[in-house]
Amino acid sequence: MKIKTRFAPSPTGNLHFGNVRTALFSWLFAKKNKGKFILRIEDTDVARNDLKSVKNILEVMKWLGLNWDEKIYFQSKRFSFYKKIITLMLKKKVAYKCYCSESVLKNKKKYQILKKKKPKYDRTCRNLKNNIFLKKKSFVIRFKNPKSGYVEFNDKIRGMIKFNNSELDDFIIQRRDGNPTYNFCVVVDDLDMKITHVIRGEDHISNTPKQINIFYSLKAKIPIYAHLPIILDENKKKISKKNSNINIIKYFKEGFLPEAILNYLVRLGWSNGNKEIFSLYEMKKNFSLDNVGKSSSILNIKRLLYLNKYYINNIISRKKIILLLKYYFKKENINIKYGPNIEEIFNLFKKRCSSLREIVVSSSYLYNKFLNLNNIFLTNLSNKYVLIVFKISYYNFKCINLWSSSKIWKKIVLMSFKNKLYLKNIINILRVTFTGKLNSPSISKIIFLIGKKKILFNLKKCILFLKKCFI
């Protein structure tokens, strides 16, 4: 059997950890079994879909490298095909037109709720004879669900799951506006696209018996189902689209590596011994639904940060990181021509930052032509003191011939010793002046990277600025 899986998102928002984990598991299962993986956009609910979400889906899938094997399917482009199947189902009497008006249905539902009954369509139209008066009335099309018996399936993750048909409704497969509904389109597509394994979120378990009954009504074999446990947010609540921390594209913007994201996602529910770090190759080689747990996973963004840092420092080639850093500098509108080499930046910041954008933002001051002179007030030392440090720094740095961070450091130590100034204070002043921050990598390295010319030029400006403050 040629394995075929699909990822079938509805374009109603940005992809989050939950969706993308489903996509990854479906993709891995297909790859592991030398099968195919397809992407199907489930956009039948015209009112809720938007193009921005479609764009987001494609962007995320491409960024993560979750490539699909056939053309992308859009359900909205397949309406005529769905219509054909519905006509066939009407003919075979496994579906029927329901002429009940919306207000009647609403009232019946209200009454059922009042009576503490599960609201269900009462099947008024199930056996209606064709009536010429009805022809003019608007209608929906309902599936003729079996009234008795049960539906059973062996879920790859959760084992046998059974539903009584008496629990199920004659649900709508075509709306009043003529558009087909989700549960119907999924079946038609899974069948038409020869999907062998439906891997999706646990929230779809209750849809599965309905879908299986449609498969049976079409005399078709059902696919194998695997429902993935849900992902909870850091507060152990069901993840909601409102939580911006789960929006995958955010991590692209923040400079996370797709390899780290995939590694993080694969461990949300799947395990392979105690192994934590998986290359894509290893994931593809070892993935199996048998090792997907039943319990829900909890998001841990700290862990993701740790993994990303680990990938930046240990896994991804230097060459690739440098290229990516250049991209993120550009995105921040930082012109890297006017500052240190990116390689140097990487060396200096890689152990301090968890993402590429963090490296860029943390080092951006190295590319400023002029300093923000107000930085010099960031220490609580007096202006007079600061001025002295500037002056001696200017003269001492000026006489360094071979500009290197070790020479700079020696000078700083000497300055402190000769002038009886605390080393800590000198460092503080130079740090806030040149970085605008209270924390930074080694100050001698920073001064080295900024370069002698720029350092002296700016020190001179600082001296003039402070002198003016005294007047």
Closest CA to 21 of 363, 376, 266: 266
C-alpha 449/C-alpha 454 separation (Å) is 10
Q: Does 218 bind Zn ion (CB under 5 A)?
A: no
C-alpha 50/C-alpha 280 separation (Å) is 32
- How far is C-alpha 436 from the geometric centre of its chain's CA atoms? 33
C-alpha 163/C-alpha 167 separation (Å) is 7
Q: Residue 170 burial (CB < 10 Å; 0-12/13-18/19+)?
A: buried
CB of 186 to ligand GLU, least distance (A): 5
Residue with the two structure tokens 């558009």: 179
**Cβ 183 vs Cβ 211: under 8 Å:** yes
Task: Kindly indicate which of the ranges 4-12, 219-227, 322-330, 450-458 contains the residues binding ligand GLU, using the contact rule CB under 6 A.
Answer: 4-12
C-alpha 252/C-alpha 259 separation (Å) is 11
Instruction: Kindly report the number of other CB atoms within 10 A of residue 344's CB atom.
Output: 15
Query: Contacting ligand GLU (CB under 6 A), which of 4, 18, 38, 42?
Result: 42
Query: Contacting Zn ion (CB under 5 A), which of 100, 249, 277, 280?
Result: 100
C-alpha 113/C-alpha 107 separation (Å) is 10
CB of 155 to ligand GLU, least distance (A): 13
Q: Does 155 bind ligand GLU (CB under 6 A)?
A: no
Q: Does 10 bind ligand GLU (CB under 6 A)?
A: yes
Q: Does 95 bind Zn ion (CB under 5 A)?
A: no
Task: Kindly indicate which of the ranges 8-16, 82-90, 354-362, 420-428 contains the residues binding ligand GLU, using the contact rule CB under 6 A.
Answer: 8-16
Q: Does 9 bind ligand GLU (CB under 6 A)?
A: yes
Q: Does 12 bind Zn ion (CB under 5 A)?
A: no
Q: Does 97 bind Zn ion (CB under 5 A)?
A: no
Q: Which does 125 bind (CB under 5 to 8 A by kind): Zn ion, ligand GLU, none?
A: Zn ion
How many residues sit close enough to ligand GLU to count as binding (CB under 6 A)?
7
Q: Does 125 bind Zn ion (CB under 5 A)?
A: yes
Site string for Zn ion, 264-293 (x = CB under 5 A): ------------------------------
**Cβ 141 vs Cβ 196: under 8 Å:** no
Closest CA to 32 of 288, 265, 290, 291: 288
Q: Which does 10 bind (CB under 5 to 8 A by kind): Zn ion, ligand GLU, none?
A: ligand GLU
Task: Kindly indicate which of the ranges 93-101, 225-233, 278-286, 359-367 contains the residues binding Zn ion, using the contact rule CB under 5 A.
Answer: 93-101
Q: Does 43 bind ligand GLU (CB under 6 A)?
A: no
Nearer to Zn ion, 125 or 277 (CB): 125
Query: Contacting ligand GLU (CB under 6 A), which of 156, 204, 210, 431?
Result: 204
Q: Residue-wise over 357-376: b if at least 16 C-beta within 10 A, else e? A: bbbbbbbbbbbbeebeeebb
- Backbone dihedral angles phi then psi of residue 155, each to the nearest 5 degrees: -70, 135
**Cβ 182 vs Cβ 143: under 8 Å:** no
Query: Contacting ligand GLU (CB under 6 A), which of 8, 98, 356, 462?
Result: 8
Q: Does 205 bind Zn ion (CB under 5 A)?
A: no
Q: Does 189 bind ligand GLU (CB under 6 A)?
A: no
CB of 132 to Zn ion, least distance (A): 17
- Helix (H) or strand (E) holding 231, with range, is strand 231-232
Q: Does 165 bind ligand GLU (CB under 6 A)?
A: no
Nearer to ligand GLU, 208 or 354 (CB): 208
What Å distances lie between residue 51 and 10, 56, 147, 181, 329, CA to CA? 11, 9, 40, 19, 29
Q: Does 156 bind ligand GLU (CB under 6 A)?
A: no
The two tokens of residue 111 are 């009454």
Nearer to ligand GLU, 102 or 192 (CB): 192
Q: Which residues pair with 40 in a beta bridge?
A: 73
Q: Which does 89 bind (CB under 5 to 8 A by kind): Zn ion, ligand GLU, none?
A: none
Q: Residue 96 burial (CB < 10 Å; 0-12/13-18/19+)?
A: buried
- Please name the residue ranges forming H helices in 254-341: 258-266, 280-286, 301-310, 318-331
Query: Contacting ligand GLU (CB under 6 A), which of 94, 141, 168, 186?
Result: 186
Q: Does 283 bind ligand GLU (CB under 6 A)?
A: no
Query: Contacting Zn ion (CB under 5 A), which of 20, 98, 246, 304?
Result: 98
Q: Which does 301 bind (CB under 5 to 8 A by kind): Zn ion, ligand GLU, none?
A: none
Nearer to ligand GLU, 36 or 204 (CB): 204
**Cβ 359 vs Cβ 345: under 8 Å:** yes
Q: Which residues pair with 98 in a beta bridge?
A: 140
Query: Contacting ligand GLU (CB under 6 A), which of 21, 144, 156, 200?
Result: 200
Binding site for ligand GLU (CB under 6 A): 8-10, 42, 186, 200, 204
Binding site for Zn ion (CB under 5 A): 98, 100, 124-125
